[in-house]
Amino acid sequence: MLQNLAFYLTLVIIIVLLIMLAQKIKVAYPVLLVLAGLGISFIPGTPIVEIEPELIFFIFLPPLLYEAAWNSSWKELWRWRRIVFSFAFVVVFFTAIVVAFAANYIIPGFSLALGFLLGGIVSPPDAVSAGAILKFVKIPKRFQSILEGESLLNDASSLIIFRFALIAVATGQFIWHQAIMDFIWMCVGGAGIGILIAFLFMKMHKLLPTDANMDTIFTLASPFIMYLAAEEFHASGVLSVVSGGLFLSVRRHHFLSGASRLHSINVWQSFSFLLNGMVFMLIGLDLPLIVSGLGDTSIYQATIYGVIITVVLIIIRMFASYGAVVFTLIMRNFINVADAEPPGWKVPIVLGWTGMRGVVSLAAALSIPVTLADGSPFPHRNLILFITFVVILLTLVLQGLTLPLLLKKVKLKDKDFIKSEKEIDYEIRSELAKIAVEKVKKEYPEKLEQFPALKEQFQSWENRINSSEIIINYPEYQQIFADILQHQRMWLINKNREELLLDEEIVRKHLRLIDLQEERLSLGK
């Protein structure tokens, strides 16, 4: 690692530049990063990059899942719980079964157990990929919530299938009742351990005299502890992190101060940005090592297998999407569903086309042991690894690039939010101002003359209630305010430079306040 430090530092710079390019050309950055990794891997002299499964499962996966869970809406997840759990568990199991039989049929010497192993690896759409790509496409909120919820949970179900299939291949037997009990424990135990550790961390935040830095360190440590604790007890580390992250996310305003929340957001955004970028770049860079292990199987033949499996996965997901629609239309006659209106033919197409695979699948494939217990080579290990890579590459590039075009073509309407984001934002601002004015009038009327700053803020709230100009001309207002803030900033910098006896810490405090005002201004877009 250390001998290639300059190489990895260069990769970080390349990742940042490529993400800026992706934002410029409006392409989901995972696509560019994977392709760039592929291109770099063919440059002579490029170090061979070997992705260790432990690196993904214990270093990359916990914080990325935790960040995704933290930013997910529990309200939306609960609203769409039926379809989310259906896609995360039922559809994943069904996909693994179909892939198992398809691989058994098309690949010579491929047993059904190996098919289930491959199915467990490639069946789940990836949370990291989905989250990264959805940030670059405009999609109705309900579909985003469904896809995010599904991608958070399906890794757990797929890894469970993977574990059982691995045991079946290694031992040559599969005990159903034992598998069912293990499955229940992995789900219940994983979620329980995650919530328990999250509860302990919440109490630590509340009871200990922490500051913003300490609170942020606790949030950084919590996903790793949740994951490792669950895995130590042979439960699902994925479900542990997801359930713990959701538990803390819902309660963040009860145990974190405003300063801690702001500080942790900034740290986590930078941390997840770097991890996401590295993950997708490493996928592309790992190709030469994967190809070198194919052995007697030609690249052409292995690629054909990968393409067939990819097509099977896309067809299954499309089928599952339309099946979910039909099932919902039937069940609305018996139970209350989240949306009783017929979704039409457009919705299943979009849901079916959002099945990007990613780093979890690759890590699972890499974690297949090289040899069996008796010392013999693990059958078709390198072929499984290559097929997994082809599936990841095709789904990321093909679906990731075409998803924006598909959304433009089908033109999905957001049934949940008739009003625009700016209208909702303005209404909330106005209501907050009304609440503040009523609070002051009721409890602090005599203080208005005593505290000029309070009176000034009170008048500002009243003006906000009576004015609609900010929503009509917000871009112009934003530009003017930003120019004023920059003028203030330059005055402070010059004053600090000219007056040698002026305390620079005080100057920096006011510069931070200006930066905070500027950030608040940008959030009002």
Residues carrying CATH 1.20.1530.20, the chain: 2-410
What is the mean predicted confidence (pLDDT) over 92-104? 91
Q: Which amino acid is at 90?
A: V
Q: Which amino acid is at 20?
A: M
Does the structure show a pLDDT above 70 at 248?
A: yes
What is the mean predicted confidence (pLDDT) over 363-380? 81
Does the structure show a pLDDT above 70 at 76?
A: yes
What is the mean predicted confidence (pLDDT) over 358-370? 81
CATH for 2-410 (2.30.30.100, 1.10.132.50, 3.30.200.20, 1.20.1530.20)? 1.20.1530.20
pLDDT of residue 203: 92
pLDDT of residue 233: 93
- Residues 206, 208, 210, 214, CA torsion sign: negative
Q: Give the model confidence (pLDDT) of 185-196 as tens digits.
A: 988 999 999 999
List helix spans (H) across 332-410: 346-352, 359-366, 381-394, 400-410
Q: Give the model confidence (pLDDT) of 406-422 as tens digits.
A: 877 877 776 666 666 67
**The residue to which tokens 């979620």 are assigned:** 191
Q: Tokens standing for 183? A: 């499955």
Tell which wins on pLDDT, 451 or 470.
451
**The residue to which tokens 């005593």 are assigned:** 450
pLDDT of residue 245: 93
Distance of CA 510 to the CA centre of its chain: 35
Does the structure show a pLDDT above 60 at 109?
A: yes
Tell me the Ramachandran region of residue 411: left when phi exceeds 0, alpha when psi lies from -120 to 50, beta otherwise: left
Contact 119, 157 (CB under 8 A): no
The HSE-up count of residue 213 (CA atoms within 13 Å, CB side) is: 0
Tell which wins on pLDDT, 505 or 202.
202
| Distance, CA of 252 to CA of 268 (rounded, Å) | 14
Q: Is 371 helix (H, G, I), strand (E, B) or coil?
A: strand
Contact 367, 57 (CB under 8 A): yes
Highest mean pLDDT among 49-53, 127-131, 260-264: 260-264
What is the mean predicted confidence (pLDDT) over 189-209? 93
Q: What is the band of 469 on the pLDDT scale with cuts at 50, 70, 90?
A: low
Q: Give the model confidence (pLDDT) of 421-459 as tens digits.
A: 677 677 777 887 888 888 888 888 888 888 888 888 888
Q: What is the band of 396 on the pLDDT scale with cuts at 50, 70, 90?
A: confident
Contact 346, 410 (CB under 8 A): yes
pTM (2 decimals)?
Answer: 0.82
Contact 121, 150 (CB under 8 A): no
Highest mean pLDDT among 166-180, 327-341, 350-364, 389-403: 389-403
The DSSP line for 146-209 is HHHHHHHHHHHHHHHHHHHHHHHHHHS---HHHHHHHHHHHHHHHHHHHHHHHHHHHHHHHHS-
Give the range among 27-36, 105-114, 155-164, 326-335 with minimum mean pLDDT: 326-335
Rg of the chain's alpha carbons, rounded to an integer? 26
β strands within 107-160, DSSP E: none
| Distance, CA of 301 to CA of 107 (rounded, Å) | 10
pLDDT of residue 519: 77
pLDDT of residue 349: 82
pLDDT of residue 75: 82
Give the range among 181-195, 251-265, 322-336, 426-440 with minimum mean pLDDT: 322-336
281, 147, 62, 50 alpha-carbon torsion, rounded to 10°: -30
**Mean pLDDT for the chain?**
82
pLDDT of residue 219: 93
Contact 388, 362 (CB under 8 A): yes
